[in-house]
Homo-oligomer: A and B are copies of this chain.
């Protein structure tokens, strides 16, 4: 794939991927677009249109080959080149993400965690060590880290991001509810949990 897909398509492709993983676990070998559509409550035509953008989807008269379609999505989304990341902030959220085994399946390799709490430093989660935040610049360089997953409290977010920027981290996945100020060559992806909740809440009605 050379073209870029819109976010909405990427988001749906990851949901299809999730269903395919489930089918593989249950040893089902074929899946129809309408089965996917029905699980996600979207239009069959939408599913077919999305899948038509992919290559080698294993399409046959009876549907798609589950494994081939899964591989096709993975190739399209670029799972093959794993990205190395640090989790910055070893609180509950940081620990939850460190425990989230699925990341590895999706090409995200969490190399280590960082915190400034002496009670946490030196401990391990899922074979990943929690380091003192002061060691981050050296380790980022040594381990070829591209991304930081920011899970510090809101009050510490901007100060921590300034430190990450100085440490040459270019991509920040921000889980703190703070709008961060960064230089133009740094990309922030806001995991706006409250925004997500409010969209849901708004749908529920008042």
Question: A26 → chain B, closest Cβ, in Å?
Answer: 12
| Candidates B22, B92, B173; contact of A200 at CB < 8 Å | B173
Known: A77-B201, A198-B14, A204-B146. A179 touches B106 (CB 8 A): no
Question: Per-position contact with B for A55-77: 1 when CB-CB < 8 Å, else 0?
Answer: 00000000000000000000001
Chain A residue total in the interface (Cβ 8 A): 58
CA distance A40 to B19 in the complex (A): 34
B178/A22 in contact, CB under 8 A: yes
Question: Per-position contact with B for A62-96: 1 when CB-CB < 8 Å, else 0?
Answer: 00000000000000011011010000000111011
CA distance A39 to B10 in the complex (A): 26
B196/A200 in contact, CB under 8 A: no
**A18 beta carbon closer than 8 Å to chain B:** yes
Pick the most buried of A7, A107, A200: most chain B CB atoms within 10 A of its CB. Answer: A200
Q: B residues within 8 A CB of A95?
A: 92, 96
Interface residues of A in 1-53 (CB under 8 A from B): 4-5, 7, 10-11, 13-15, 18-19, 22, 39-40
Q: B residues within 8 A CB of A100?
A: 93, 193
**A195 beta carbon closer than 8 Å to chain B:** yes
A78/B181 in contact, CB under 8 A: no
A to B CB contacts below 8 Å, 11 in the list: A7-B199, A10-B199, A11-B196, A15-B179, A18-B177, A92-B99, A93-B100, A100-B193, A108-B201, A173-B200, A191-B193
Given A189-B199, A189-B203, 18 other A-B residues pairs in contact with their CB atoms under 8 A: A10-B198, A11-B195, A11-B196, A11-B199, A14-B192, A14-B198, A15-B190, A15-B192, A18-B179, A22-B178, A80-B206, A91-B99, A92-B96, A92-B99, A93-B96, A100-B193, A103-B197, A106-B201
